[in-house]
Amino acid sequence: MTWLQIRLDASPDTAAPLEDALLDCGAASVTMEDNADQPLFEPPIGETPVWAHTRVTGLFTADTDMVAVLAGMQAIVGDLPNHRIEILEDRDWIREWMDSYHPLQCGERLWICPSWREPVDSSAVNILLDPGLAFGTGTHPTTWLCLNWLDRQALEGLTVIDYGCGSGILGIAALLLGAEKLVAVDTDPQALKATRDNGERNHIASERIDCYLPEDVPADLRGDLVLANILAGPLMELAPRLASYLAPSAPICLSGILDTQGEALIAHYATWFDGLVSDNREEWLRVSGVRNGPA
């Protein structure tokens, strides 16, 4: 199917009104993207960041009268910014994405392999992954940092808690590397479903994975290792809870932290953890340490 799209240059003040106008004029979808290669990092609570130079794109069916759309938008928002209308030929976007996603080595033993590709090294520990509807493909620096850390741990027989499990990639990696049990926690039910599905894809028995929404986590939950690849803000709030899951000397691995946030997060976690160290990849950090207290 052929589509028509209109692309408009916008600022933080005009992006939202243009989005509303496109939808009011019949757009099937509206997307916003960076128009000047400007990174956006974790925003303050309650704020929605928008790039200083944003491209707003509205998608319309091929039979849409785009002259009428432009007139309708002008009636809503006034003079339109720089814009252009294009014909968008239909493409198999899923297939193109699948073709671009390649196996990734995350340590000496560990590889992430898309479920539709053959492993590069059949003798390695290969996680067969289908991200599905949840975040976590292994390509993001924070995920890679955690996987690289896991690759160097002695995990045999441990119970691992993956808080903010996403696709389940970290917890499943831990199981394939020798852990006995995974407790996966996420606020998104789709993430829990993806974790179960990816566990099955990796031939992990269902009884080795327990999945919970945060409000359903057992009050007496204890583990031997905690993983949390979220963001710095939630990690700060979760520190007492994550610490409560661990006995003294048990390890923790945290990521989703910008290098500018590392010092404050380490100072905060030092209340509950000793030996905190960080490692970086691009502008992101991984922080790891062990639960303090009497042995």
31 is in an annotated binding site: no
130 is in an annotated binding site: no
Are the C-beta atoms of 57 and 7 separated by less than 8 Å? yes
164 is in an annotated binding site: yes
Partner residues linked to 255 by β-bridges = 229, 286
Structure tokens at 80: 């339109």
The span from the CA of 158 to the CA of 16, in Å, is 48
What secondary structure letter does DSSP report for 214? G
**230-246: string of b/e by CB count within 10 Å (b at 16+)?**
bbbebbeebbeebbebb
Strands 225-229 and 251-258: parallel
The span from the CA of 126 to the CA of 118, in Å, is 10
64 is in an annotated binding site: no
Annotated binding site: 143, 164, 186, 229
Annotated binding site for S-adenosyl-L-methionine: 143, 164, 186, 229
